Amino acid sequence: MSFQLIESDHMPEHVYCPHCQHAIINNDEVQYIQPCAHTLFIAMDLSFEFVSDVFEDSLPLSIDEIHGNDENLNIFTEITRSNYPDFVIYKFSLGLHDLSRYVGVAAA
Instruction: Parse the chain into domains and list their residue ranges.
Output: 3-106
DSSP 11-44: --SEEE-TTT--EEEETTSSS-B---TTEEEEEE
Amino acid at the residue 72: N
How confident is the model over 3-48, as pLDDT tens digits? 999 999 988 889 999 999 999 999 888 888 999 999 999 999 888 9
Q: End-to-end alpha-carbon separation of the chain, Å?
A: 15
Q: What is the pTM of this model?
A: 0.91
Task: Give the helix/strand (H/E) hosting 67.
Answer: helix 63-67
